[in-house]
A = this chain, B = another copy of it.
Amino acid sequence: MNNSAKKITVSILGASGYSGAMALRILLRHPDVTVGKVFGTTAVGEKVHNLYPSLRGLTDMVYEEYASDKVADSEFIFLALPAGHAMNVVPEILESGKKVIDLSGDFRLKDPGLYKEYYKGDHSALSLLDSAIYGMPEINRKAIASTSLLSNPGCYPTSAIIPLAPLLKNNLIEPDDISISSLSGVSGAGRKSSVDLSFAEVDGSVKAYKVGDHQHIPEIESILSGEAKKDVTVNFVPHLLPAVRGIYTTTFTTPRKNVTSAQIEDAFHNAYADEPFVRHLGKQVPELKSVVGSNFIDIGWKLDKRTGKLIIFSAIDNLVKGAAGQAVQNMNIMSGFDEREGLL
């Protein structure tokens, strides 16, 4: 425990899903946190360890139905709700002076038109879109420290943006020729009953889905455009991998003329040498299992002289760096804790 800090109380809405439960798991271990309440609409009245037996012995909490008076003593509210739900509760929570970390996509896009196009609905809290801060410490640490409304990045965007940001920022690659092929473990789809997600269908298979339509496309493009200070367009193809956890992203890019390996190496080094959760492997190729269970992102790359392409690899745990872990990292920054607290 950070002795200079007093413990904060954190409650979680949507703690019955995989991301919310992972947030609970991490927060239970966090030396500076007391978990207040856990809410889960579909599991009201059930013990947490009935849904997540791995948590038996670590908590005796029971899922409750959310009501604002139940979180009166919470300083932080984690929202791990399905798309379109956070926007309905965030205004009231902010008004009561609490800080919000929203793990959904509700506050990631600044443009209501893009929101409507990709999330298929109208946004009910438009006035908050501008003040929400995108919570990726590697590019946005300072703004995170002072926000009350933290929009936690999507899993795919985390794996794609972190390696691409320094390349675009340093003008090393073309902004309009980026092709991203991502593989996600099944937990990325959430805790759902669905034939498509059943073991009998997923095991031994793989398939692409939502090709060119995925709601993470505008998120990736808008954040990268901000870093590049020009429009960035990406092709993005997600695939369902026969694994429970993790995202592995292979990205084909075109370096600008005369860009050298040394420049790429420098860009990554300068950007990330001091980042606590970025492991830059250089020419070594990452593998997925190295990051599963951790908040690390592993990055490797190869500049292929023969073809002229720069190919970049990145790996994260979708539930940790891609969701709950990054959320706690953000909470640490927002609270003045050591950024690694509870995450190593």
Contacts and interface: CB of A to CB of B under 8 A. Distances in A.
A6 to B, nearest CB: 19
Contacts of A197: 198-200
Interface string A196-220: 0111111111111101100000000
A199 B186 CA distance: 7
Contact of A289 (B18, B191, B194, B205): B205
A211 B311 contact: yes
Interface string A268-304: 0000000000010100011111111110101000101
Q: How large is the interface on A (under 10, 10 to 19, 20 to 34, 35 or more residues)?
A: 35 or more
Interface string A80-108: 00000000000000000000000000000
Given A181-B181, A289-B54, A237 B250 contact: yes
A58 interface: yes
A91 B207 CA distance: 43
Task: Report how many copies the assembly holds.
Answer: 4
A198 B211 contact: no
B289 A201 contact: yes
B204 A245 contact: yes
In this complex, which of A234, A246, A252 has the most chain B Cβ atoms within 10 angstroms of its Cβ? A252
Contacts of A201: 199, 289
B191 A193 contact: no
Interface string A213-247: 00000000000000000000111010101111110
A187 interface: yes
B183 A183 contact: yes
A208 B294 CA distance: 20
A17 to B, nearest CB: 11
Given A204-B246, A311-B212, A195 B193 contact: yes
A333 B190 CA distance: 40
28 contacts: A18-B200, A53-B287, A56-B290, A57-B296, A181-B250, A181-B252, A185-B204, A186-B198, A192-B195, A193-B193, A197-B198, A198-B198, A199-B203, A203-B204, A203-B243, A203-B244, A205-B246, A205-B288, A205-B289, A205-B292, A206-B246, A207-B285, A211-B304, A212-B302, A235-B307, A237-B250, A241-B242, A242-B243
Interface of A: 18, 29, 53-54, 56-58, 179, 181, 183, 185-187, 191-195, 197-209, 211-212, 233-235, 237, 239, 241-246, 248, 250, 252, 279, 281, 285-294, 296, 298, 302, 304, 306-307, 309, 311, 313, 344
